[in-house]
Structure 1
Amino acid sequence: MDRFKIIFTILLVILMGSCGRRTGKDENKLTIWESYNDEEHEVFMEIVEKFRAQNPGMKIEIQRIPFNGMEHKILTALAAKNAPDIARVDYAFVAKLADKNAIIPLTMKDIGDLKDKLMEAALYSNYYKGKFYGLPDQTTCIVLFYNKDIFRKKGIKHPPRTWDEFIDIGKKITDGSVYAFGMHNSLWWTFPFFNTFGAEFLSEDGTRCLLDSPEAIKAFSLKVDLYRKYKVEAGAWMAGAMNPDLGFRNGKYAMIFNGPWSIKSLKEQGLNFGVALIPAGPRGSSTTVGGTNMVIFNKDKKELALKFLKFLLSAENQAMWSNELGQIPLRKDAIPYLDTLKNPYLKIFIEQMKTAVPRPPTPYYTDIELTFNAEMEAALNGQKTPAQALKDATRKVNEKILGGLR
C-alpha cells in the first residue's frame, strides 16, 4: 500500500507539473479574431510580426472572420464559452456586448495617454454607460465626393461649402442626363444632415430617442427637399435605382457622400474626383463616424491584450497603416508622418474628423435604424411629411424599443 501511495504521489506531481507548464504557455498566448479585407490584413500582419519579434515569449494566434459574420460568430462563441481574447467588431456592436457583460471595461489607467492622443470621436465610440469597453483599431467618416470634370464643365469653381450653395450648384448641374446628387436613405447616411443642424439622436442615458426635435425635422426636410422640391437628387435611395457609388463612378451623379474605403478603387478607375467637407448647416460642417474597435473578452488576459493593442496604436504603426492603406490615422501625433503627396485626400478626412459626431452607443441601434429607415422612405416617397415620418419613427422607438429602459 505504501508503495502504491509513493507511485501515485509521483504520478500526481508529474501531472501537476505538466498542467502548470501548459497553463504557463496559455498565459502568454493571445487569440485574436479579425475581419480585415485582404489589403488591411496584410498590413495588420506586418504589425503582428513586429510585435512577435519584440515579444518572443508571447504567442499571437490570428483567426480571420468575415466582417459580416463576426457578430454571429461571437454570440455563438459566448454561448459556448469559448470566446477569443480579443475581437475586432463594428463599433455599433460594442454596446450590445457591454450590455451583456461579455467584454472587459477599461479604466482610465488602462487607456493612459491614449485618451489625449487618439481621435476623440474614435475613442468615444467605445464609451457606454460611463465606461470605455475597447480601443479603436480603424475609423472612418463620411465626406462629400465630387466629380471635378462635371464641375468644370458646368463652370463651378469649388465644391459647396454650405447647404444653400449645395442647392444652387445642384440646380446648375442637374440637366436630365446627370444629377447633382445621389444619396442613401438609411439613418446612418442621414446623420450628416442631422449633425449639421445640431440634432441629437438619443438622450444622454440612452433611454429616449430625440429625432423628433425641430432641428432634426429641419435637417430631414432638407434631405427630402433635395429630391422632391429641388429635384437635384437622383432617387438613388430607391430599390432598383442606380446606387450612389455606381452612379458616381459612371458620371451620372456629380456628388455623393462616401468614405475613405472608396479612394483606392476610384483612383485606379482614373476618375477625376475631389473630396470636401460636408456642407455646413446652422451648426457648421459635421458628419458621422464609422469604424471598428478591438474589445477584450478574457479578464485574465487584459494586460497582455492591452500591451498588444497599444503597440497596434503606436504613432509609428498608425502612420504606416495610414500611408499603406490611405485610411485615417487614429493617433493625432501620427499626422505629421503621413505621406499627403501619396494620399492628398486624407487632409479633408482628418479635418472632418475634428467635428465628427459618433452615434451614442446603444445595444438597440439595429432595431432603431430599421424603424427609421421605413419611416424616412415614406417621406421621400411623399406618403408622409418629413415631420410626421420622424415623429412616427421616434414614437415607435421610444414605445417599442426603448420603452422598457425607463
Structure 2
Amino acid sequence: MRRGLAAAVVVAALTISATACSGGSSGSSDASGPVTITWWDTSDATNEAGTFKALVKDFEKANPDIKVKYVSVPFGDAQTKFQTVAGSKGAPDVLRADVGWTPGFVEAGFLAPLDGTAAAAESGKFKQNLIEQAKHQGKLYGVPQVTDTLGLMYNKELFTKAGITKPPATWDELKADMAKVKEKTGVDGFAFNPQAYYAMPFLYGEGTDMVDAAKKQITLNSPAAVKGIDTLDSVLAAPGVRKLDTTSNAYANIMDAFNNGKVAAIIQGPWENANIFKGAAFKDKNNLGIAALPAGSAGQGAPLGGHNLVAYAGSDAKHQEASQKFIAFMTSAPSQEKIALANGTLPTRMDAFTAKVVFKPEIAAFHLALKDGVPRQPIPEYTALYAAMEPHLVDILTDRKTPRAGLDAISTAAQRLLPDYRNP
C-alpha cells in the first residue's frame, strides 16, 4: 500500500459493466512489425522507476517482437485514472496495481483472468498468501510483483543516546521510550502519519478490522476497535511525540524529519528504504533500525500490501499474449532480485530471496515482519473504507471527537458503502 493513498475512490466506476471495456488497447501493432503494449508503472518516479525502466529495456532485448510503451503514473492518481479509461478507451495493457484494487476492477470487468497463461506459469513459486490476495472469486487476476507491510523504523543512534537497547514491544513501551528520546536528545521521539492505512495496526493489535467480510458485518465501532483507536490517541498524547501534522504535506514532512534526524521513530514500509538512505541521518545505512510494530492486547498486526501486475480485459488477443509475457518477465526471480537490490523492496516469490537480497538488513527485517501481515478483506469497497475513515480519524486525533463518536461516524459512512452489511 502506498504512501499518499488515493484521497477519494470513485466507487461509482465499479458499477461499469464489462461491455464498456471494448475500447481496446492503447498499444499498437501491424502484421509485419512488433506489437506495442502500454504499461502504467505506479512506482515512485524518483526512487524506484529507474529500476523498472531498465527492466523494460531488458525485456525488449529478450523479446524483439514486443515493444513496451512505459508510462509513469502517480500512485495517488492511478486508481481513478484507470477506472476512467478502462470504461471508455485508452487503457494500458498492463497496470501496476495496488493489491486492494483487484476486487473492484474485476467486478467492473476491467481485468483479464491469468490462470493458465504465461503470466501465471510459475505461480507455485510465489508466497501463496500473496497469490490468494491476487485472486477474486477463485480466479487469478494479477501476479504479485512486490509486497510490503508496515514496521517501526527507528534511528539507532538516537535510541542509543536515550539509553534504549531494543525496540519497544508494546505501545506502552513505545510511549516510555519516546519520552526518553526527547529528554536525552531533545529530538521528537515519534511521528505519526494520520492516514487510515497507518492506523490499521492499532485495530489489528486488538484483533479486529474495519469489517468482517465473512459475517457481512461492520466492525469499526466494535469495543475492540474503540480500544485500538484509544491506544493510538494515547500514543499521540504522550510526552516526546511530535505534534500531529494534518496538512496535505504531512507524509513528506514526516519523512523529511525522520530522514534528517529530527524524529527518532516512525511507522513506515519498505517502499521508503531507498529514499531514507538519501537522508543525512542515514548516510550510514547501519543507523536504520527496523522492527515489527509494537503489539496491542491481542498481539501484533500490520496491513499486508504490495503491487500486482494486471492485464486489461479490453486488449485484443495479440496484446493479451504480449502482456502475459511481459508480466511473467517482470515478476520472474531474476527481475525481482534486481528490484529488491536496487529499490530495497520485498520480493513476492521465495526463489527471489537470494543470498544477495537477504544480506540487505532492511529487506531481511521487513521479511521477518511479513509474518504479522494481515491481508485485506476481499471486497471491492475495502480501499474506499480508508477514504471514509480518514476525516473522522483526524477529528479523533485532534480531539474534535472522542474515539467512540468518531468511530460511530466512520461506521455510518461505511454503511453507505456496504448497505447489506450489519452495523451493530
Which TM-score band (shorter chain)? 0.7 to 0.9
CA deviation digits over 1:153-182, x for unaligned, max 9?
A: 111111112333223323323439433211
Residue 403 (structure 1) aligns with: 419
- Does residue 93 of the first structure (1) align with residue 101 of the second (2)? yes
Distance 1:210 1:114 in 2: 37
Distance 2:305 2:243 in 1: 24
Distance 1:168 1:192 in 2: 19
Distance 1:325 1:383 in 2: 40
> Which stretch shifts more, 351-360 or 126-135?
126-135
Query: 1:288: how far off?
Result: 1.4
Query: 1:141: how far off?
Result: 2.0
| Equivalent residue letter for 1:35 | T
Residue 19 (structure 1) aligns with: none
Residue 275 (structure 1) aligns with: 290
DSSP-derived class of the 2:411 partner: helix
Compute the TM-score of the two structures, normalised by the length of structure 1: 0.82
CA separation of 1:320 and 1:92: change in aligned 2, threshold 3 A:
same
Distance 2:334 2:215 in 1: 37
CA deviation digits over 1:65-108, x for unaligned, max 9?
A: 34344334423423433322212233333333222111113337
Distance 1:46 1:397 in 2: 42
1:47-196 alignment runs, 5 A limit: 47-107=55-115, 112=120, 114-175=122-183, 177-196=186-205
DSSP-derived class of the 1:322 partner: helix
CA separation of 1:108 and 1:159: change in aligned 2, threshold 3 A:
farther
Residue 370 (structure 2) aligns with: 353
Distance 1:25 1:95 in 2: 38
DSSP-derived class of the 1:137 partner: strand
| Equivalent residue letter for 2:39 | I
CA deviation digits over 1:372-400, x for unaligned, max 9?
A: 122222222233332332233113311x2
CA separation of 1:393 and 1:188: change in aligned 2, threshold 3 A:
same
| Equivalent residue letter for 1:326 | G
Question: Do 2:200 and 2:209's aligned partners in 1 also have CA atoms closer than 8 Å?
Answer: no
| Equivalent residue letter for 1:161 | A
Question: Do 2:273 and 2:345's aligned partners in 1 also have CA atoms closer than 8 Å?
Answer: no
Query: 1:216: how far off?
Result: 1.8
- Does residue 213 of the first structure (1) align with residue 222 of the second (2)? yes
DSSP-derived class of the 1:263 partner: helix
RMSD across aligned positions (CA) = 3.0
Question: Do 1:183 and 1:256's aligned partners in 2 also have CA atoms closer than 8 Å?
Answer: yes
DSSP-derived class of the 1:233 partner: coil
CA separation of 1:237 and 1:365: change in aligned 2, threshold 3 A:
farther
CA deviation digits over 1:185-233, x for unaligned, max 9?
A: 22111112222222123232595432222322221111011123x3443
- Does residue 310 of the first structure (1) align with residue 310 of the second (2)? no
| Equivalent residue letter for 1:355 | D
Residue 354 (structure 2) aligns with: 336
Question: Do 2:146 and 2:308's aligned partners in 1 also have CA atoms closer than 8 Å?
Answer: yes
| Equivalent residue letter for 2:155 | N
DSSP-derived class of the 1:226 partner: helix
CA separation of 1:264 and 1:391: change in aligned 2, threshold 3 A:
same
Residue 235 (structure 2) aligns with: 226
Distance 2:222 2:192 in 1: 23
1:261-272 alignment runs, 5 A limit: 261-271=271-281, 272=287
Choose from 357, 367, 390 the match for 2:407: 390
Distance 2:275 2:91 in 1: 35
Unaligned runs of 5+ in 2: 1-28, 282-286
Query: 1:331: how far off?
Result: 1.4
Question: Do 1:151 and 1:157's aligned partners in 2 also have CA atoms closer than 8 Å?
Answer: yes
CA separation of 1:385 and 1:50: change in aligned 2, threshold 3 A:
same
Distance 2:297 2:154 in 1: 22
DSSP-derived class of the 2:189 partner: strand
Higher normalized helix content (fraction of residues): 1
Distance 1:289 1:110 in 2: 26
CA separation of 1:111 and 1:379: change in aligned 2, threshold 3 A:
same
CA separation of 1:79 and 1:348: change in aligned 2, threshold 3 A:
same
Distance 1:197 1:118 in 2: 30
> Which stretch shifts more, 148-157 or 275-284?
275-284
Identity %: 27
Distance 1:326 1:240 in 2: 27
Residue 13 (structure 1) aligns with: none
Query: 1:311: how far off?
Result: 1.8
Residue 376 (structure 1) aligns with: 393
Question: Do 1:104 and 1:299's aligned partners in 2 also have CA atoms closer than 8 Å?
Answer: no
Distance 1:160 1:339 in 2: 26
Query: 1:54: how far off?
Result: 2.9
Distance 1:140 1:311 in 2: 20
Residue 17 (structure 1) aligns with: none
CA separation of 1:77 and 1:395: change in aligned 2, threshold 3 A:
closer
Count of residues in Structure 1 that have an aligned counterpart in Structure 2: 382
Distance 1:234 1:241 in 2: 15
CA separation of 1:193 and 1:353: change in aligned 2, threshold 3 A:
same
Distance 1:164 1:222 in 2: 9
Query: 1:296: how far off?
Result: 0.9
Distance 1:110 1:79 in 2: 26
Query: 1:112: how far off?
Result: 4.9
DSSP-derived class of the 1:211 partner: coil
Q: Name the larger-Rg structure.
A: 1
Query: 1:404: how far off?
Result: 5.8
| Equivalent residue letter for 2:37 | L
> Which stretch shifts more, 370-379 or 107-116?
107-116
- Does residue 285 of the first structure (1) align with residue 292 of the second (2)? no
| Equivalent residue letter for 1:350 | H
CA separation of 1:54 and 1:249: change in aligned 2, threshold 3 A:
closer
